[in-house]
Chains A and B, each alone.
Chain A
Amino acid sequence: MARKRLITAVNDALVAEMERDEKLIVFGEDVELAIMGDTRGLVGRFGRDRVRNSPICEQTLTGMAVGLASAGYRVVLHLMFNNFIYTGMDAIGNQMAKLRLMTGGQMAPTITVIAGYGGGNSNAAQHSDTAYPALMNLGGLRVAVPTNSADAKGLFTTAVRGRTPTFFLEAAGRGGEMGEVPDGEHLVPFGQADVLREGDDVTVVAIGTMVKPTLRAAKALADDGISAEVIDPRTLVPLDEDTILGSVAKTGRLVVVDEARDRCSAASQIAAVVADRGFASLRAPVRRVTVPDVALPYARNAEAALIPSPERIADAVRHVTQKQFA
């Protein structure tokens, strides 16, 4: 075990996997200097054949990843900010997500796309989205949202070794956070949620960037005598429905916290799953704590007002714990 930044844990995983598999190629926007830090130092170690700055042309980069994977490589494509996924969407939505099915399994694009997501840094509307709901709806992709250094290493390693194209989304403002990371090989399976805090009164599912404010809210609620169970799903596709349903069976109440915009958010999906499969457990309506259906503004105070805060999360929890179906 060693304490490391989340971004360093990803870097460690990349080095290990590149050493393990010489057909692993890293390319994308500024991967050589790496503004996020996750791919820093790789070009010096592995050379420009395997680590390469690309031109800025997302619709071609995503398609090139498909072609390179088809030629027998494992590909890590860095898109810098997840808003740029929209620019590269054809090869994401029409190629990566569909080729395995369309070709009857002949092609299995071995691609991991890294991109930063989330607001809170005054990066303004075009660099602050939480874009995973769109990816979740494409039907052939996996989506990972690591929230600590150990999971970042473990999920990334699982992602690059897999046969399904995977989006590995890093909270843009949280790469510097420290956490314990297991030494050596560390794999975290997809579809296995992590119960970060046990509780009896309410289940709070917190996604990605929302884990930290949720844990803060849970602490404040405990002082008021409300016991919240906090679950980090870690991957949104596949989603560990059983852990969430098991927790709701115990608590009877569910709040889902998500930095995506409200409409068709990951929170909406989780709420729907519990309505479908756990309705009998519910003792109060499900609440979603999300971002309103607008673009994130630049001004610090305006932006902060839209992103779920510990106070908003705590309010939602109090609301559902005071409600009870007859």
Chain B
Amino acid sequence: MDLGLDVSERGGFAVLSVHGEVDVYTAPKFRERLIELVTEGKHQIVVDLEGVDFLDSTGLGVLVGGLKRLRSHDGDLLLVCTQSRILKVFEITGLTKVFSIHESVDEATGVASGATTEDRAGDSADV
């Protein structure tokens, strides 16, 4: 089992795309990559979970740690996730209220332009 971690840039955000399964075995690699990004001065990070097949509380812990680290630098960590089975673990643990969760990287990075979650929720009919 391997974990894919790809980094790109979009609209002033570092986008970390995660592929594979995030559990106790792969989480250290994920945590290490997030910390590297912060150390490199990337303080606005989008973590794209669309390629994640499985995520348990170890993965949640990495994300919570990342958010805490970024907020200490006045930064933020946004998530992209539409998979119900992944969203469910955020919902159960109440972390949907801690993280800003978006339907696409474009939507997440659009946060920089000032759109709010409520705005976007009402924009579903827009192109």
Are A and B interaction partners? no
Q: Which residues of A contact B (CB under 8 A)?
A: none
Interface residues of B (CB under 8 A from A): none
